[in-house]
Each structure stands twice: as C-alpha cells, then as structure tokens.
C-alpha cells in the first residue's frame, strides 16, 4: 500500500521499524555446529548468496532465527520465512591452500541456500 | 554525466514526487538532516566507550547487541538487528558488504566512499590481511582474522580493543579515541 | 544474478582510496537522491530487495562508471517507472522542462 510521506511519517520511520525478522514458527534444517555446503546455484534473479561462497563447505556458527527471504521479496514473491544462520568458512576453503590457515569468514545464509554434508 | 546533469535528474524526480503528492517537502529535509546530523560514528563511539567502561554493558552488547544499543538510545533504520564482534590481541574482525553497501546506520551513519567502492568490496573477503596492511594496521603474527560479509539484514559493528594507557579516562575522553574505521575493523582505536 | 555487483574475490579493481574528513554528502544532490529513494521505499512503491536488485541490473560498464548515489538515483527512477508511478516519458518530459531546453 502506498502512502504520502510527511515529516511526521519520517520521524516515525527512523525508529527501528524495518526488521526483516519474522515472527513465525518455522523449523530449522540445521543446528549450530552442523557442517553444510552452500548450494552451487546460479539464479538469474536477485540473491544474497555470493559466487565465492557457492559450493563451499562451512559450519553453522549461529542460528539468527526466522527471517524473510530476500530472493523471493525482490521478485514480488512472499516472505518465505526461514531460518537465517551465520555460517563460518575457513579462508582456505574459500581461497585455497595459500590462504592463512587461521583466518575465516562469516556470512549470513538462509536455509534455502544450504545443503547438508 | 556531469554533476549538473545528475542534479537536474534529481530535481526532476523530486518535482514529480512532490507534484503527485507522494511526499511533502519537509519530509525530504528531515531525512537529509537525519543522515547529516544525527546518525554517525559518534553514536557507535559512545557505545564502544561505554563497553570499555562498563563490563556488564559490554557483556550485554556482545550477547545481544540490538538490545544493548537500543538501551543507549540509538534506535534507527539499518540497526534493526545488530551484531557486535570484539577485537582482541588474538582476533581481528573486519566488516564488509561484498554485494552492495550494507552498514550499521544506527551506530555508524552512512558508510564512507571507500567502504562502498569496488576495491574494498572485492578484496576485503579474499585478502583481508592485504587490506589491513593498506590501512597501515599491524596485527600480531599469531592473530586470527575474521571477515564478516554483511550480506543479509543483520548489521555488524566491531568493538575495537581498548588502547593501552587509558585507565581512569572518562567515557567522553575514551569516545574521542574511537574512530569510524576502528568500528569497521580496518584500523585500531587511537592511542591517547 | 551473476552480476558485476558480486565483487568478492575479484582482482584488478585498484587501491582503496580514502578521504580525510569525508563529508556525509559530497554534493547537495546526493543527500536528495538518498532521501528520494527512502521516500519511495517508505511510501511502499517498492521494497528494499527490489531496490537492491534494480541496481544490480544496471549494465556492468555503467555500474562501475557512475557514482554510488547515481546508482541510487537511477535505481529509483527505473523502479518507479516499472511500478507505473512515474513513467519514463513523464520523467524525460520533466527533465526537458527543467533544463529549459525545448528540443
């Protein structure tokens, strides 16, 4: 629904109103500590799964809870609420054996991006 | 396109939105004022100074950053779901958005141009040590680097290490040592 | 989409250029471009994910050659046209009117 934007609307907006969190009872496919692989997919539409993560194996570090799904909302779809996880990948998994052994990268990935290993 | 040409396109869009009654002019000024004057790294610096001064607050901040930051009154757009990660002598955290420009507006305001630029977005994930070196930031040989690619709707901020020789400093004094870049994780906080 | 925006791991994009005492906006139009995009989002004409995607759809050469807030502006203009709020013809007519150029 569209609405007219007045100064009062703006003042209200810039409170913390825009959470992407969804209050829905959705089962999580993974739990903290699980090993996962990011799906090797190449959607032609919007996705928040970067190329450098696809096909790589990582570990669930945190379950953030249930969030709306950007890939769906960008194309007029529904919220498709699902769990969003912080997933940890080693730098060597992402960038090869010459990457520093201690380093890692964390990225937030929705359930639909992941498969069990 | 010259800046005059772009400015003209902005004016055209603004005049059409106003004419169609979709926005009132004071609302536009209000948004610009918010970003120019109210949202900025001074907010994040106060959060960091509080965390350095108050161990209970720091514990709450690392446990549930969203609530701890709201508790300090910094409640704003692009700060709905916050995560704060702590830098230590052994762990250097660094934040990037490789896909666009996601940034914790509630605590740091709008991102600087370099954060949104192709050079940073391309290399922060794959070569964070190279990026740190480019910023002149030295880390211990045995330190671990953790990159946070903020690609979804959580917003990340780094809690930098408290500098040495700052015992007894007030929160206001500590705040002055906390730079925006240190809360992105590309530099350390300033020495007193 | 496998677009130019998906930059993680790319090489050859140059050194990181920093600016001392960087202002929030470098030109008055930048603040306005941001504000108008926020207005269109808040007005419910499109959502944030659609907005990110329209900027990803800017052709790669143009994506790399225009500034950040130009991407916001062009994304907003393009989406408002797609959503039927401000047509492309209406927008170009207004440009002509404001530039005082009758051609």
> Which domains does chain A carry?
19-116 (2.30.30.50)
Clarify whether residues B143 and B157 are in a common domain. yes
| Least confident span in A5-19, B96-110, B127-141 | A5-19
Question: Is residue B170 flagged as an active site residue?
Answer: no
Clarify whether residues B168 and B92 are in a common domain. yes
CATH number of the domain residue B49 falls in: 3.90.330.10
Total structural domains within chain B: 2
Clarify whether residues B16 and B65 are in a common domain. no
Distance CA B74, CA C103 (A): 50
Contacts of A71 (CB under 8 A, 6+ apart): A43, A45, A46, A47, A48, A110, A112, C49
Clarify whether residues B120 and B141 are in a common domain. yes
Total structural domains within chain C: 1
Residue B190 in any domain: the answer is no
pLDDT at A16 over 70: no
**Segments forming the whole domain that contains residue C50:** 28-99
Residue C56 in any domain: the answer is yes
Q: Which of B2, B15, B100, B117 is catalytic?
A: B100
Clarify whether residues B25 and B74 are in a common domain. no
| B17 touches C: beta carbon within 8 Å | yes
Using CB atoms, which residue from B23, B27, B113 is nearest to C22? B113
Residue C46 in any domain: the answer is yes
Predicted TM-score of the model (pTM): 0.96
Of B112, B118, B78, nearest in space to B98 by CA: B118
pLDDT at B166 over 80: yes
Clarify whether residues B117 and B179 are in a common domain. yes
Partner-chain contact B129 A104, CB within 8 Å: no
pLDDT at C13 over 60: yes
Partner-chain contact B153 A19, CB within 8 Å: yes
Residue C22 in any domain: the answer is no
pLDDT classification of B116: cutoffs 50, 70, 90: very high
Q: How close is the nearest chain A Cα to the Cα of B159, in Å? A: 16
Clarify whether residues B131 and B52 are in a common domain. yes
**Strand residues in chain B grouped as ranges (E):** 82-86, 91-96, 144-149, 155-159
Q: Which chain B residues contact residue C94 at CB under 8 A?
A: 12, 15-16
Residue C16 in any domain: the answer is no
Question: Is residue B117 flagged as an active site residue?
Answer: no
Clarify whether residues B13 and B104 are in a common domain. no
Residue B189 in any domain: the answer is no
pLDDT for res A13? 73
**Segments forming the whole domain that contains residue B86:** 40-184
Q: Which chain A residues contact residue B20 at CB under 8 A?
A: none
Q: Which chain C residues contact residue A50 at CB under 8 A?
A: 6, 8
Residue C41 in any domain: the answer is yes
Q: What is the DSSP letter of A5?
A: B
Burial of A1 (C-beta count, 10 Å sphere; 0-12/13-18/19+): exposed
When the pLDDT of each residue in chain B is averaged and rounded to a whole number, the result is 95
pLDDT for res B90? 96
Clarify whether residues B11 and B61 are in a common domain. no
Element (DSSP H or E) covering residue B65: helix B65-71
Clarify whether residues B10 and B63 are in a common domain. no
Q: Which chain C residues contact residue A1 at CB under 8 A?
A: 44
Q: Are C2 and C60 in contact (CB under 8 A)?
A: no
Residue B191 in any domain: the answer is no
Structure tokens at B96: 């990037």
Question: Is residue B122 flagged as an active site residue?
Answer: no
Structure confidence by residue, pLDDT tens digits, A73-93: 999 999 999 999 999 999 999
Clarify whether residues B51 and B30 are in a common domain. no
Using CB atoms, which residue from C9, C39, C47 is nearest to A73? C47
pLDDT for res C102? 57
């Amino acid at each position: 629904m569209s609405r007219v934007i007045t100064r009062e609307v703006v003042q209200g907006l810039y409170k913390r109103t825009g959470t992407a969190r969804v209050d829905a009872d959705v089962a999580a496919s993974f739990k903290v500590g699980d090993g996962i692989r990011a799906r090797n997919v190449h959607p032609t539409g919007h996705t928040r799964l970067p190329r450098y993560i696809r096909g790589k194996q990582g570990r669930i570090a945190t379950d953030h809870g249930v969030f709306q799904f950007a890939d769906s909302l960008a194309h007029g779809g529904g919220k498709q609420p699902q769990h969003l996880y912080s997933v940890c990948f080693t730098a060597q998994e992402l960038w090869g054996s010459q990457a520093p052994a201690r380093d890692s990268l964390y990225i937030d990935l929705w359930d639909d991006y992941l498969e069990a290993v | 396109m010259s800046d005059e040409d772009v400015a003209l396109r902005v004016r055209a869009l603004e005049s059409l939105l106003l004419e169609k009654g979709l926005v009132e002019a004071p609302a536009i000024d209000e948004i610009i004022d918010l970003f120019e004057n109210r949202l900025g790294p001074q907010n994040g610096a106060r959060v960091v100074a509080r965390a350095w001064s108050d161990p209970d607050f720091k514990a709450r901040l690392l446990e549930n950053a969203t609530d701890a930051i709201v508790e300090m009154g910094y409640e704003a757009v692009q700060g709905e779901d916050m995560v704060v990660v702590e830098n230590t002598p052994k762990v250097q955290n660094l934040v990037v958005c490789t896909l666009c420009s996601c940034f914790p507006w509630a605590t740091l305001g709008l991102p600087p141009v370099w954060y949104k630029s192709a050079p940073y977005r391309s290399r922060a994930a794959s070569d964070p040590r190279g990026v740190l070196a480019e910023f002149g930031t030295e880390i211990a040989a045995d330190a671990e680097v953790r990159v946070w690619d903020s690609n979804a709707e959580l917003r990340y901020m780094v809690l930098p290490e408290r500098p040495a020789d700052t015992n007894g400093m007030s929160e206001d004094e500590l705040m002055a040592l906390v730079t925006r870049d240190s809360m992105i994780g590309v530099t350390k906080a300033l020495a007193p | 989409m496998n677009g130019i925006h998906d930059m993680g791991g790319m090489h050859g994009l140059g050194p990181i250029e920093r600016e001392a005492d960087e202002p929030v906006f470098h030109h008055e139009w930048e603040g306005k471009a941001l504000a108008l995009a926020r207005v269109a989002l808040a007005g419910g004409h499109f959502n944030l994910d659609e907005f990110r995607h329209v900027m990803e759809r800017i052709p790669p050469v143009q994506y790399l050659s225009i500034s950040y807030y130009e991407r916001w502006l062009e994304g907003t203009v393009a989406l408002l046209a797609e959503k039927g709020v401000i047509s492309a013809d209406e927008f170009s007519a207004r440009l002509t009117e404001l530039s005082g150029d009758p051609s």
